[in-house]
Structure 1
Amino acid sequence: MTLSIALVTSSYRGDWERCRILCESLDRFVTGHCVHYILVEEGDVALFRALEGPRRRVVSERDLLPVWLRPISDPFERGRRLWLSPFGLPLRGWHVQQLRRIAMGAAMDEDVLVSLDSDVVFVKPFDAGHFVSGDAVRFYRRAEGMAHVEPERQAEHARWSQRAAALLGLAPDPIPAPTYINTLIAWRRDTVRAMLERVRQVTRRPAMIALAGSRALSECTIYGRFVDEVEGRPERHIATDERLCAVYWDGPPLDEAGLLAFLAEMAPEQVALGLQSFTGTDPGLIRRVVGLGA
Protein backbone atom coordinates (compact mmCIF):
# COMPACT_ATOMS: atom_id res chain seq x y z
CA MET A 1 0.00 0.00 0.00
CA THR A 2 1.32 3.43 -0.96
CA LEU A 3 1.14 5.97 1.85
CA SER A 4 -0.98 8.99 0.92
CA ILE A 5 0.38 12.50 1.54
CA ALA A 6 -1.23 15.78 2.58
CA LEU A 7 0.56 19.13 2.62
CA VAL A 8 -0.40 21.21 5.66
CA THR A 9 0.08 24.95 6.23
CA SER A 10 -1.03 26.82 9.33
CA SER A 11 -1.45 30.50 8.50
CA TYR A 12 -3.19 33.79 9.37
CA ARG A 13 -4.37 36.93 7.60
CA GLY A 14 -1.08 38.77 8.12
CA ASP A 15 0.62 36.13 5.95
CA TRP A 16 -2.11 35.92 3.32
CA GLU A 17 -0.03 37.29 0.45
CA ARG A 18 2.90 35.03 1.34
CA CYS A 19 0.54 32.07 1.58
CA ARG A 20 -0.79 32.93 -1.88
CA ILE A 21 2.76 32.85 -3.24
CA LEU A 22 3.32 29.47 -1.54
CA CYS A 23 0.17 28.09 -3.18
CA GLU A 24 1.21 29.34 -6.62
CA SER A 25 4.64 27.76 -6.19
CA LEU A 26 3.07 24.48 -5.05
CA ASP A 27 0.80 24.42 -8.09
CA ARG A 28 3.77 25.03 -10.36
CA PHE A 29 6.43 22.79 -8.83
CA VAL A 30 5.04 20.19 -6.40
CA THR A 31 3.50 16.80 -7.17
CA GLY A 32 2.91 13.57 -5.28
CA HIS A 33 0.32 14.80 -2.76
CA CYS A 34 -3.43 14.33 -2.49
CA VAL A 35 -4.41 17.66 -0.97
CA HIS A 36 -3.05 20.86 0.54
CA TYR A 37 -4.78 21.94 3.77
CA ILE A 38 -4.55 25.54 4.99
CA LEU A 39 -5.42 25.85 8.68
CA VAL A 40 -6.62 29.26 9.87
CA GLU A 41 -8.60 31.02 12.59
CA GLU A 42 -12.36 30.96 12.02
CA GLY A 43 -12.38 34.70 11.29
CA ASP A 44 -9.82 34.24 8.48
CA VAL A 45 -11.64 31.45 6.64
CA ALA A 46 -13.53 33.71 4.21
CA LEU A 47 -10.32 35.50 3.21
CA PHE A 48 -8.40 32.28 2.57
CA ARG A 49 -11.23 30.66 0.60
CA ALA A 50 -9.84 32.49 -2.44
CA LEU A 51 -6.90 30.08 -2.37
CA GLU A 52 -9.02 26.92 -2.53
CA GLY A 53 -8.95 24.70 -5.58
CA PRO A 54 -9.39 21.08 -6.68
CA ARG A 55 -6.66 19.90 -4.30
CA ARG A 56 -6.60 22.71 -1.73
CA ARG A 57 -8.92 23.12 1.25
CA VAL A 58 -9.17 25.77 3.93
CA VAL A 59 -9.87 24.34 7.39
CA SER A 60 -11.13 26.39 10.32
CA GLU A 61 -9.41 25.85 13.65
CA ARG A 62 -12.90 25.53 15.13
CA ASP A 63 -13.08 22.15 13.38
CA LEU A 64 -9.78 21.09 14.96
CA LEU A 65 -9.30 22.67 18.39
CA PRO A 66 -11.34 22.43 21.60
CA VAL A 67 -14.10 24.98 22.18
CA TRP A 68 -12.36 26.28 25.32
CA LEU A 69 -9.47 27.73 23.28
CA ARG A 70 -10.74 31.07 21.97
CA PRO A 71 -9.00 33.98 20.18
CA ILE A 72 -9.29 37.63 21.20
CA SER A 73 -7.58 40.84 20.10
CA ASP A 74 -4.44 41.50 22.13
CA PRO A 75 -5.31 44.47 24.39
CA PHE A 76 -1.66 45.53 24.54
CA GLU A 77 -0.43 45.05 20.95
CA ARG A 78 -2.51 46.42 18.10
CA GLY A 79 -3.21 43.94 15.34
CA ARG A 80 -2.08 40.88 17.29
CA ARG A 81 -4.14 38.02 18.67
CA LEU A 82 -4.19 35.99 21.87
CA TRP A 83 -5.86 32.64 22.51
CA LEU A 84 -7.38 32.30 25.96
CA SER A 85 -7.44 28.99 27.77
CA PRO A 86 -8.64 28.03 31.25
CA PHE A 87 -5.66 25.69 31.53
CA GLY A 88 -2.69 28.04 31.20
CA LEU A 89 -1.41 31.43 30.13
CA PRO A 90 -2.79 33.03 26.95
CA LEU A 91 -1.18 31.60 23.84
CA ARG A 92 0.26 33.48 20.86
CA GLY A 93 -0.55 32.70 17.26
CA TRP A 94 2.61 30.68 16.74
CA HIS A 95 1.65 28.41 19.65
CA VAL A 96 -1.83 27.85 18.22
CA GLN A 97 -0.49 27.20 14.74
CA GLN A 98 1.42 24.28 16.26
CA LEU A 99 -1.70 22.96 17.98
CA ARG A 100 -3.58 23.13 14.67
CA ARG A 101 -0.88 21.08 12.92
CA ILE A 102 -0.91 18.45 15.64
CA ALA A 103 -4.70 18.26 15.56
CA MET A 104 -4.75 18.05 11.77
CA GLY A 105 -2.09 15.35 11.82
CA ALA A 106 -4.39 13.22 13.95
CA ALA A 107 -7.68 14.06 12.20
CA MET A 108 -6.86 13.94 8.49
CA ASP A 109 -7.56 10.94 6.24
CA GLU A 110 -4.15 10.91 4.59
CA ASP A 111 -1.27 8.83 6.01
CA VAL A 112 1.49 11.45 5.97
CA LEU A 113 1.50 15.14 6.87
CA VAL A 114 4.12 17.35 5.21
CA SER A 115 4.39 20.62 7.13
CA LEU A 116 4.91 23.87 5.21
CA ASP A 117 5.01 27.34 6.73
CA SER A 118 3.12 29.99 4.78
CA ASP A 119 6.32 31.95 4.10
CA VAL A 120 7.85 29.04 2.14
CA VAL A 121 8.11 29.27 -1.63
CA PHE A 122 9.17 26.43 -3.93
CA VAL A 123 11.66 27.25 -6.64
CA LYS A 124 12.35 23.76 -8.09
CA PRO A 125 10.24 20.72 -9.01
CA PHE A 126 9.60 18.46 -6.04
CA ASP A 127 7.73 15.19 -5.60
CA ALA A 128 6.29 14.96 -2.08
CA GLY A 129 6.64 11.20 -2.42
CA HIS A 130 10.31 11.85 -1.59
CA PHE A 131 9.25 11.59 2.07
CA VAL A 132 8.02 8.01 1.68
CA SER A 133 10.09 4.87 1.14
CA GLY A 134 7.91 1.76 1.12
CA ASP A 135 6.08 1.79 4.45
CA ALA A 136 8.55 4.20 6.09
CA VAL A 137 8.51 8.00 6.29
CA ARG A 138 11.59 10.22 6.27
CA PHE A 139 11.95 11.77 9.70
CA TYR A 140 14.06 14.88 10.29
CA ARG A 141 16.70 14.52 12.98
CA ARG A 142 19.93 16.50 13.11
CA ALA A 143 22.47 14.66 15.25
CA GLU A 144 24.32 16.93 17.66
CA GLY A 145 21.97 19.63 16.48
CA MET A 146 21.81 21.40 19.82
CA ALA A 147 25.46 22.27 19.38
CA HIS A 148 24.53 24.27 16.28
CA VAL A 149 21.74 26.29 17.91
CA GLU A 150 22.66 29.94 18.36
CA PRO A 151 23.79 30.58 21.97
CA GLU A 152 21.01 33.09 22.59
CA ARG A 153 18.40 30.46 21.62
CA GLN A 154 19.81 27.43 23.43
CA ALA A 155 17.88 28.10 26.65
CA GLU A 156 14.61 28.20 24.72
CA HIS A 157 15.42 24.97 22.90
CA ALA A 158 16.26 23.40 26.26
CA ARG A 159 12.86 24.43 27.65
CA TRP A 160 11.13 22.91 24.61
CA SER A 161 12.98 19.64 25.09
CA GLN A 162 12.28 19.53 28.83
CA ARG A 163 8.60 20.24 28.21
CA ALA A 164 8.46 17.44 25.64
CA ALA A 165 10.02 15.13 28.22
CA ALA A 166 7.39 16.06 30.80
CA LEU A 167 4.54 15.46 28.35
CA LEU A 168 5.95 12.10 27.22
CA GLY A 169 7.10 10.80 30.59
CA LEU A 170 10.82 10.95 29.80
CA ALA A 171 13.77 11.98 31.92
CA PRO A 172 14.40 15.70 31.30
CA ASP A 173 18.20 15.40 31.52
CA PRO A 174 20.40 15.13 29.70
CA ILE A 175 18.70 17.04 26.93
CA PRO A 176 19.20 14.94 23.80
CA ALA A 177 21.78 16.20 21.36
CA PRO A 178 19.59 15.86 18.25
CA THR A 179 17.25 18.61 17.12
CA TYR A 180 14.05 17.96 15.20
CA ILE A 181 13.01 21.46 14.15
CA ASN A 182 13.04 22.27 10.47
CA THR A 183 10.93 23.66 7.67
CA LEU A 184 9.48 21.15 5.19
CA ILE A 185 9.27 17.95 7.24
CA ALA A 186 6.98 14.92 7.37
CA TRP A 187 4.98 13.21 10.13
CA ARG A 188 3.00 9.98 10.15
CA ARG A 189 -0.69 10.30 11.04
CA ASP A 190 -0.64 7.11 13.12
CA THR A 191 2.43 8.30 15.01
CA VAL A 192 0.74 11.63 15.82
CA ARG A 193 -2.25 9.73 17.19
CA ALA A 194 0.01 7.49 19.28
CA MET A 195 1.91 10.55 20.53
CA LEU A 196 -1.31 12.22 21.69
CA GLU A 197 -2.39 9.04 23.45
CA ARG A 198 0.98 8.92 25.22
CA VAL A 199 0.54 12.53 26.36
CA ARG A 200 -2.93 11.66 27.67
CA GLN A 201 -1.64 8.64 29.59
CA VAL A 202 1.37 10.45 31.07
CA THR A 203 -0.41 13.66 32.09
CA ARG A 204 -3.78 12.02 32.89
CA ARG A 205 -5.44 14.86 31.05
CA PRO A 206 -6.84 15.23 27.52
CA ALA A 207 -3.83 15.78 25.27
CA MET A 208 -4.87 19.25 24.09
CA ILE A 209 -5.33 20.45 27.66
CA ALA A 210 -1.82 19.23 28.49
CA LEU A 211 -0.30 20.78 25.35
CA ALA A 212 -2.00 24.14 25.87
CA GLY A 213 -0.91 24.32 29.50
CA SER A 214 2.48 25.87 28.77
CA ARG A 215 4.02 28.32 26.33
CA ALA A 216 7.10 26.07 26.16
CA LEU A 217 5.83 24.32 23.06
CA SER A 218 7.66 22.82 20.11
CA GLU A 219 5.57 20.32 18.21
CA CYS A 220 8.62 19.12 16.25
CA THR A 221 10.50 18.39 19.47
CA ILE A 222 7.57 16.51 21.02
CA TYR A 223 7.13 14.42 17.87
CA GLY A 224 10.87 13.84 17.52
CA ARG A 225 11.39 12.71 21.08
CA PHE A 226 8.34 10.47 20.82
CA VAL A 227 9.72 8.75 17.72
CA ASP A 228 13.23 8.40 19.13
CA GLU A 229 12.50 7.54 22.75
CA VAL A 230 8.98 6.13 22.99
CA GLU A 231 7.66 4.62 19.78
CA GLY A 232 10.42 2.04 19.38
CA ARG A 233 9.53 1.07 15.81
CA PRO A 234 12.47 2.12 13.63
CA GLU A 235 11.01 0.42 10.56
CA ARG A 236 8.37 3.18 10.42
CA HIS A 237 10.81 6.09 10.10
CA ILE A 238 13.99 6.80 8.15
CA ALA A 239 16.09 9.35 10.01
CA THR A 240 17.52 12.11 7.81
CA ASP A 241 19.23 15.42 8.38
CA GLU A 242 18.40 16.54 4.84
CA ARG A 243 17.28 20.17 4.85
CA LEU A 244 15.13 20.65 1.78
CA CYS A 245 14.31 24.30 2.49
CA ALA A 246 16.89 27.09 2.71
CA VAL A 247 15.73 29.37 5.54
CA TYR A 248 16.44 33.07 6.03
CA TRP A 249 15.53 33.39 9.68
CA ASP A 250 17.09 36.61 10.96
CA GLY A 251 18.35 39.83 9.50
CA PRO A 252 17.15 42.85 7.55
CA PRO A 253 14.74 42.65 4.62
CA LEU A 254 16.43 41.22 1.55
CA ASP A 255 16.64 43.42 -1.53
CA GLU A 256 16.84 41.98 -5.04
CA ALA A 257 20.60 41.48 -4.91
CA GLY A 258 20.39 39.84 -1.50
CA LEU A 259 17.60 37.51 -2.57
CA LEU A 260 19.44 36.50 -5.74
CA ALA A 261 22.55 35.80 -3.68
CA PHE A 262 20.51 33.68 -1.25
CA LEU A 263 19.09 31.69 -4.17
CA ALA A 264 22.57 31.17 -5.58
CA GLU A 265 23.77 29.73 -2.27
CA MET A 266 21.08 27.03 -2.08
CA ALA A 267 22.39 23.49 -1.72
CA PRO A 268 21.64 21.16 -4.68
CA GLU A 269 19.04 19.18 -2.69
CA GLN A 270 17.15 22.28 -1.55
CA VAL A 271 13.93 22.91 -3.44
CA ALA A 272 12.35 25.78 -1.50
CA LEU A 273 13.09 29.01 0.33
CA GLY A 274 11.77 29.90 3.77
CA LEU A 275 11.92 33.68 4.02
CA GLN A 276 10.61 34.36 7.50
CA SER A 277 7.84 36.92 7.31
CA PHE A 278 9.11 38.92 10.27
CA THR A 279 12.27 39.83 8.32
CA GLY A 280 10.02 42.02 6.19
CA THR A 281 11.26 40.89 2.77
CA ASP A 282 8.78 42.26 0.21
CA PRO A 283 6.40 39.53 -1.09
CA GLY A 284 6.23 41.25 -4.49
CA LEU A 285 10.00 41.06 -4.77
CA ILE A 286 9.94 37.37 -3.82
CA ARG A 287 7.31 36.67 -6.45
CA ARG A 288 9.26 38.47 -9.17
CA VAL A 289 12.69 37.04 -8.36
CA VAL A 290 11.53 33.41 -8.17
CA GLY A 291 9.66 33.80 -11.47
CA LEU A 292 6.01 33.60 -10.38
CA GLY A 293 4.96 36.72 -12.25
CA ALA A 294 3.52 40.02 -10.99
Structure 2
Amino acid sequence: MSLQVVTPSHAPDFPSFARLHRSVIEHTDPMVRHIVAVPDRDVPLFRSVDTGRLDVIGYRAVLPRRFVSTIPLARIPGLPRGFRINAVNATRPWPPIRGWMLQQLVKLAVVSTLEADVALLIDSDVLIVRPLVESTFRDKAGVVRLYRSPHGITPAMTRHLAWQAAARALLGTSKVEPDSPDYISAFASWDPELVRASTSRVAETTSRDWRDVIGSRLDFSEFIFYGTYVMTLADARYRTNTQQRSLCHSHWDPTPLDLEHADRFLDRLHPDDVAVHIQSNSLTDENVLRHIAERMRSGS
Protein backbone atom coordinates (compact mmCIF):
# COMPACT_ATOMS: atom_id res chain seq x y z
CA MET A 1 0.00 0.00 0.00
CA SER A 2 1.41 3.40 -0.96
CA LEU A 3 0.50 7.01 -1.73
CA GLN A 4 2.26 9.47 -4.02
CA VAL A 5 1.45 13.12 -4.65
CA VAL A 6 1.53 14.46 -8.23
CA THR A 7 1.48 18.14 -9.18
CA PRO A 8 1.71 19.69 -12.65
CA SER A 9 3.33 23.11 -12.49
CA HIS A 10 5.52 25.68 -14.25
CA ALA A 11 7.78 28.60 -13.35
CA PRO A 12 5.07 31.29 -12.83
CA ASP A 13 3.51 29.05 -10.15
CA PHE A 14 6.80 28.34 -8.36
CA PRO A 15 6.08 30.41 -5.19
CA SER A 16 2.72 28.66 -4.78
CA PHE A 17 4.25 25.28 -5.52
CA ALA A 18 6.99 25.80 -2.94
CA ARG A 19 4.33 26.59 -0.36
CA LEU A 20 2.34 23.50 -1.36
CA HIS A 21 5.42 21.28 -1.14
CA ARG A 22 6.21 22.52 2.37
CA SER A 23 2.68 21.59 3.41
CA VAL A 24 3.03 18.14 1.80
CA ILE A 25 6.24 17.54 3.76
CA GLU A 26 4.55 18.71 6.95
CA HIS A 27 1.39 16.61 6.61
CA THR A 28 2.49 13.32 5.03
CA ASP A 29 4.49 10.29 6.08
CA PRO A 30 8.23 10.55 5.26
CA MET A 31 7.81 7.71 2.75
CA VAL A 32 5.43 9.77 0.58
CA ARG A 33 7.10 11.21 -2.52
CA HIS A 34 5.95 14.44 -4.15
CA ILE A 35 6.29 14.38 -7.95
CA VAL A 36 6.17 17.62 -9.91
CA ALA A 37 5.92 17.59 -13.71
CA VAL A 38 7.14 20.77 -15.40
CA PRO A 39 8.30 22.00 -18.83
CA ASP A 40 11.94 21.05 -19.33
CA ARG A 41 13.14 24.65 -19.15
CA ASP A 42 11.75 24.86 -15.59
CA VAL A 43 13.41 21.70 -14.25
CA PRO A 44 16.47 23.48 -12.70
CA LEU A 45 14.22 25.95 -10.85
CA PHE A 46 12.09 23.23 -9.28
CA ARG A 47 15.13 21.12 -8.43
CA SER A 48 16.28 24.01 -6.25
CA VAL A 49 13.68 22.78 -3.74
CA ASP A 50 16.01 20.49 -1.85
CA THR A 51 13.94 18.54 0.68
CA GLY A 52 14.91 15.02 -0.37
CA ARG A 53 11.28 14.14 -1.06
CA LEU A 54 10.67 15.95 -4.34
CA ASP A 55 10.99 14.26 -7.75
CA VAL A 56 11.11 16.73 -10.65
CA ILE A 57 10.07 15.31 -14.02
CA GLY A 58 10.46 17.22 -17.28
CA TYR A 59 7.90 16.80 -20.04
CA ARG A 60 10.38 15.09 -22.38
CA ALA A 61 10.79 12.26 -19.89
CA VAL A 62 7.16 11.14 -20.32
CA LEU A 63 6.22 12.32 -23.81
CA PRO A 64 7.29 10.91 -27.21
CA ARG A 65 10.15 12.61 -29.04
CA ARG A 66 7.76 13.46 -31.83
CA PHE A 67 6.17 16.02 -29.49
CA VAL A 68 8.37 19.00 -30.38
CA SER A 69 8.38 22.07 -28.14
CA THR A 70 7.26 25.34 -29.73
CA ILE A 71 7.55 27.43 -26.57
CA PRO A 72 9.91 30.01 -28.17
CA LEU A 73 7.14 30.80 -30.67
CA ALA A 74 4.62 31.51 -27.87
CA ARG A 75 1.77 31.57 -30.37
CA ILE A 76 1.17 30.68 -34.00
CA PRO A 77 -0.12 33.39 -36.38
CA GLY A 78 -3.66 32.78 -37.56
CA LEU A 79 -4.83 31.18 -34.31
CA PRO A 80 -6.89 33.04 -31.70
CA ARG A 81 -4.79 35.18 -29.36
CA GLY A 82 -5.71 33.07 -26.33
CA PHE A 83 -4.68 29.87 -28.11
CA ARG A 84 -1.25 29.36 -26.51
CA ILE A 85 0.79 26.64 -28.23
CA ASN A 86 3.46 24.63 -26.41
CA ALA A 87 4.18 21.73 -28.77
CA VAL A 88 3.58 20.18 -32.16
CA ASN A 89 3.27 16.48 -32.91
CA ALA A 90 5.81 16.12 -35.72
CA THR A 91 3.90 13.18 -37.24
CA ARG A 92 0.57 15.07 -37.23
CA PRO A 93 1.38 18.77 -36.81
CA TRP A 94 -2.20 20.00 -37.00
CA PRO A 95 -3.75 20.90 -34.70
CA PRO A 96 -0.81 22.04 -32.55
CA ILE A 97 -0.88 21.18 -28.84
CA ARG A 98 -1.87 23.87 -26.39
CA GLY A 99 -0.04 24.25 -23.07
CA TRP A 100 -3.15 23.37 -21.09
CA MET A 101 -3.63 20.26 -23.20
CA LEU A 102 0.02 19.27 -22.86
CA GLN A 103 -0.19 19.53 -19.08
CA GLN A 104 -3.16 17.14 -19.03
CA LEU A 105 -1.29 14.67 -21.22
CA VAL A 106 1.72 14.80 -18.91
CA LYS A 107 -0.47 14.28 -15.85
CA LEU A 108 -1.96 11.10 -17.35
CA ALA A 109 1.46 9.92 -18.51
CA VAL A 110 3.11 10.43 -15.11
CA VAL A 111 0.35 8.68 -13.16
CA SER A 112 0.31 5.79 -15.64
CA THR A 113 3.95 5.04 -14.73
CA LEU A 114 3.40 4.89 -10.97
CA GLU A 115 3.49 1.67 -9.00
CA ALA A 116 1.74 3.35 -6.06
CA ASP A 117 -1.76 2.31 -5.01
CA VAL A 118 -2.99 5.92 -4.87
CA ALA A 119 -1.99 8.97 -6.88
CA LEU A 120 -3.12 12.18 -5.23
CA LEU A 121 -3.29 14.95 -7.82
CA ILE A 122 -2.88 18.38 -6.29
CA ASP A 123 -2.65 21.71 -8.11
CA SER A 124 0.09 24.19 -7.23
CA ASP A 125 -2.41 26.66 -5.74
CA VAL A 126 -3.53 24.16 -3.08
CA LEU A 127 -2.30 24.05 0.51
CA ILE A 128 -2.43 20.91 2.66
CA VAL A 129 -3.71 21.83 6.12
CA ARG A 130 -4.32 18.47 7.83
CA PRO A 131 -2.63 15.05 7.77
CA LEU A 132 -2.79 13.14 4.49
CA VAL A 133 -3.00 9.39 5.01
CA GLU A 134 -3.61 6.70 2.43
CA SER A 135 -6.61 5.28 4.29
CA THR A 136 -8.49 8.52 3.57
CA PHE A 137 -8.35 7.73 -0.14
CA ARG A 138 -9.00 3.95 -0.10
CA ASP A 139 -11.88 2.04 1.43
CA LYS A 140 -11.53 -1.26 3.29
CA ALA A 141 -11.72 -3.17 0.01
CA GLY A 142 -8.83 -1.12 -1.37
CA VAL A 143 -10.92 0.87 -3.87
CA VAL A 144 -9.50 4.34 -4.51
CA ARG A 145 -11.77 7.25 -3.69
CA LEU A 146 -13.35 8.98 -6.72
CA TYR A 147 -14.62 12.53 -6.38
CA ARG A 148 -17.95 12.66 -8.23
CA SER A 149 -20.47 15.49 -8.07
CA PRO A 150 -23.87 14.26 -9.36
CA HIS A 151 -25.69 16.81 -11.51
CA GLY A 152 -22.53 18.93 -11.34
CA ILE A 153 -22.72 19.69 -15.07
CA THR A 154 -25.74 21.68 -16.18
CA PRO A 155 -27.01 22.28 -19.74
CA ALA A 156 -25.53 25.79 -19.59
CA MET A 157 -21.98 24.45 -19.04
CA THR A 158 -21.14 24.04 -22.71
CA ARG A 159 -17.40 23.42 -22.24
CA HIS A 160 -18.05 20.68 -19.69
CA LEU A 161 -20.57 19.09 -22.03
CA ALA A 162 -17.94 19.13 -24.78
CA TRP A 163 -15.49 17.45 -22.37
CA GLN A 164 -18.08 14.77 -21.59
CA ALA A 165 -18.62 14.11 -25.29
CA ALA A 166 -14.86 13.99 -25.89
CA ALA A 167 -14.39 11.43 -23.10
CA ARG A 168 -17.07 9.15 -24.54
CA ALA A 169 -15.61 9.46 -28.04
CA LEU A 170 -12.07 8.70 -26.89
CA LEU A 171 -13.21 5.72 -24.86
CA GLY A 172 -15.45 4.42 -27.64
CA THR A 173 -18.52 4.22 -25.43
CA SER A 174 -22.07 5.43 -25.98
CA LYS A 175 -22.94 5.11 -22.29
CA VAL A 176 -24.21 8.40 -20.89
CA GLU A 177 -24.32 8.94 -17.15
CA PRO A 178 -27.90 10.10 -16.41
CA ASP A 179 -26.95 12.40 -13.53
CA SER A 180 -24.36 14.34 -15.59
CA PRO A 181 -21.61 14.29 -12.94
CA ASP A 182 -18.60 16.56 -12.63
CA TYR A 183 -15.22 15.07 -11.68
CA ILE A 184 -13.04 18.18 -11.85
CA SER A 185 -11.14 19.13 -8.71
CA ALA A 186 -7.88 20.80 -7.73
CA PHE A 187 -7.44 17.90 -5.31
CA ALA A 188 -8.31 14.39 -6.50
CA SER A 189 -7.26 10.77 -6.00
CA TRP A 190 -6.73 8.39 -8.92
CA ASP A 191 -5.92 4.71 -9.16
CA PRO A 192 -2.82 4.38 -11.42
CA GLU A 193 -4.02 0.97 -12.56
CA LEU A 194 -7.25 2.52 -13.85
CA VAL A 195 -5.34 5.34 -15.55
CA ARG A 196 -3.34 2.71 -17.44
CA ALA A 197 -6.56 0.89 -18.35
CA SER A 198 -8.25 4.07 -19.57
CA THR A 199 -5.37 5.11 -21.81
CA SER A 200 -5.05 1.54 -23.13
CA ARG A 201 -8.73 1.70 -24.02
CA VAL A 202 -8.08 4.78 -26.17
CA ALA A 203 -5.26 2.95 -27.96
CA GLU A 204 -7.48 -0.08 -28.54
CA THR A 205 -10.44 1.88 -29.91
CA THR A 206 -8.37 4.12 -32.19
CA SER A 207 -5.43 1.84 -33.07
CA ARG A 208 -3.11 4.76 -32.29
CA ASP A 209 -0.88 5.84 -29.44
CA TRP A 210 -3.20 7.37 -26.83
CA ARG A 211 -0.90 10.38 -26.45
CA ASP A 212 -1.27 11.21 -30.15
CA VAL A 213 -5.04 10.81 -29.98
CA ILE A 214 -5.63 12.87 -26.86
CA GLY A 215 -3.02 15.45 -27.88
CA SER A 216 -4.95 16.18 -31.05
CA ARG A 217 -8.12 17.07 -29.15
CA LEU A 218 -9.33 20.64 -28.77
CA ASP A 219 -11.85 19.66 -26.09
CA PHE A 220 -10.65 17.47 -23.24
CA SER A 221 -10.68 17.18 -19.45
CA GLU A 222 -8.47 14.56 -17.87
CA PHE A 223 -10.71 14.40 -14.80
CA ILE A 224 -13.90 13.84 -16.79
CA PHE A 225 -12.06 11.33 -18.97
CA TYR A 226 -10.88 9.32 -15.96
CA GLY A 227 -14.21 9.52 -14.13
CA THR A 228 -16.16 8.50 -17.21
CA TYR A 229 -13.93 5.47 -17.69
CA VAL A 230 -14.33 4.37 -14.08
CA MET A 231 -18.11 4.79 -14.04
CA THR A 232 -18.94 3.35 -17.46
CA LEU A 233 -16.23 0.85 -18.45
CA ALA A 234 -14.22 -0.25 -15.42
CA ASP A 235 -15.23 -3.23 -13.32
CA ALA A 236 -18.18 -2.36 -11.07
CA ARG A 237 -16.12 -2.89 -7.93
CA TYR A 238 -14.15 0.28 -8.73
CA ARG A 239 -17.36 2.33 -8.47
CA THR A 240 -18.03 1.59 -4.83
CA ASN A 241 -16.05 4.50 -3.38
CA THR A 242 -17.48 7.57 -5.07
CA GLN A 243 -17.74 10.68 -2.89
CA GLN A 244 -19.45 14.03 -3.40
CA ARG A 245 -16.94 16.02 -1.35
CA SER A 246 -13.43 16.68 -2.65
CA LEU A 247 -11.97 17.20 0.87
CA CYS A 248 -10.56 20.49 -0.41
CA HIS A 249 -12.12 23.84 0.54
CA SER A 250 -11.90 25.90 -2.66
CA HIS A 251 -12.16 29.53 -3.65
CA TRP A 252 -13.04 29.32 -7.35
CA ASP A 253 -14.27 32.91 -7.65
CA PRO A 254 -11.98 35.07 -9.84
CA THR A 255 -12.32 37.86 -7.26
CA PRO A 256 -9.14 38.13 -5.14
CA LEU A 257 -9.38 37.53 -1.40
CA ASP A 258 -8.32 40.23 1.02
CA LEU A 259 -7.35 39.45 4.62
CA GLU A 260 -10.88 39.81 5.96
CA HIS A 261 -12.43 37.59 3.29
CA ALA A 262 -9.59 35.09 3.62
CA ASP A 263 -10.38 34.67 7.32
CA ARG A 264 -14.07 34.24 6.53
CA PHE A 265 -13.15 31.65 3.91
CA LEU A 266 -11.05 29.69 6.42
CA ASP A 267 -13.82 29.89 9.04
CA ARG A 268 -15.97 27.81 6.67
CA LEU A 269 -13.45 24.97 6.47
CA HIS A 270 -15.27 21.63 6.88
CA PRO A 271 -14.01 19.32 9.65
CA ASP A 272 -13.19 16.67 7.02
CA ASP A 273 -11.31 18.99 4.67
CA VAL A 274 -7.58 18.34 4.46
CA ALA A 275 -6.68 21.10 1.99
CA VAL A 276 -7.58 24.62 0.90
CA HIS A 277 -7.45 25.94 -2.63
CA ILE A 278 -7.24 29.58 -3.72
CA GLN A 279 -7.50 29.56 -7.50
CA SER A 280 -4.46 31.27 -8.99
CA ASN A 281 -6.68 33.12 -11.48
CA SER A 282 -8.17 35.03 -8.55
CA LEU A 283 -4.85 36.94 -8.38
CA THR A 284 -5.04 36.92 -4.58
CA ASP A 285 -2.12 38.91 -3.19
CA GLU A 286 0.94 36.98 -2.02
CA ASN A 287 0.66 38.53 1.46
CA VAL A 288 -2.87 37.14 1.81
CA LEU A 289 -1.72 33.69 0.67
CA ARG A 290 1.07 33.77 3.27
CA HIS A 291 -1.48 34.80 5.90
CA ILE A 292 -3.65 31.79 5.00
CA ALA A 293 -0.67 29.44 5.23
CA GLU A 294 0.47 30.89 8.57
CA ARG A 295 -3.01 30.77 10.08
CA MET A 296 -3.49 27.14 9.08
CA ARG A 297 -0.01 26.24 10.35
CA SER A 298 -0.80 27.81 13.72
CA GLY A 299 -4.13 26.00 13.88
CA SER A 300 -6.05 29.17 14.70
TM-score, length-normalised on structure 1?
A: 0.89
**1:196 matches 2:199:** yes
Please say which of residues 184-193 and 158-167 is displaced more in the overlay: 184-193
Q: Which residue in the other structure is 2:88 paired with?
A: 84
CA RMSD of aligned residues (A): 2.3
Cα 1:28–1:101 change in 2 (3 A) is same
Do 2:151 and 2:180's aligned partners in 1 also have CA atoms closer than 8 Å?
Answer: yes
Q: Which residue in the other structure is 2:112 paired with?
A: 106
**1:241 matches 2:238:** no
SS of the residue aligned with 1:178?
Answer: coil
Please say which of residues 269-278 and 214-223 is displaced more in the overlay: 269-278
Question: C-alpha deviations, 1:26-56, integer Å up to 9, x for none?
Answer: 1222348621100001110000002242222
Do 1:141 and 1:240's aligned partners in 2 also have CA atoms closer than 8 Å?
Answer: yes
Structure 1 CA distance for aligned equivalents of residues 165 and 221 of structure 2: 10
SS of the residue aligned with 1:157?
Answer: helix
Structure 2 CA distance for aligned equivalents of residues 273 and 232 of structure 1: 32
Do 2:7 and 2:122's aligned partners in 1 also have CA atoms closer than 8 Å?
Answer: yes
Larger relative contact order (C-alpha < 8 A, sep ≥ 6)?
1
Q: Which residue in the other structure is 1:70 paired with?
A: 68
SS of the residue aligned with 2:144?
Answer: strand
CA drift of 1:176 comes to 5.3
Cα 1:265–1:189 change in 2 (3 A) is same
Q: How many residues align?
A: 286
Name the aligned partner's letter for residue 122 of structure 1: I
Do 1:111 and 1:189's aligned partners in 2 also have CA atoms closer than 8 Å?
Answer: yes
CA drift of 1:160 comes to 0.3
Structure 2 gaps, min length 5: none
Structure 1 CA distance for aligned equivalents of residues 277 and 203 of structure 2: 33
Cα 1:75–1:210 change in 2 (3 A) is closer
Structure 2 CA distance for aligned equivalents of residues 246 and 88 of structure 1: 39
Cα 1:140–1:259 change in 2 (3 A) is same
Cα 1:240–1:63 change in 2 (3 A) is same
Cα 1:15–1:190 change in 2 (3 A) is same
SS of the residue aligned with 2:200?
Answer: helix
CA drift of 1:285 comes to 2.4
Cα 1:124–1:220 change in 2 (3 A) is same
CA drift of 1:126 comes to 3.0
Q: Which residue in the other structure is 1:261 paired with?
A: 264
Name the aligned partner's letter for residue 4 of structure 2: A
Structure 1 gaps, min length 5: none
SS of the residue aligned with 2:119?
Answer: strand
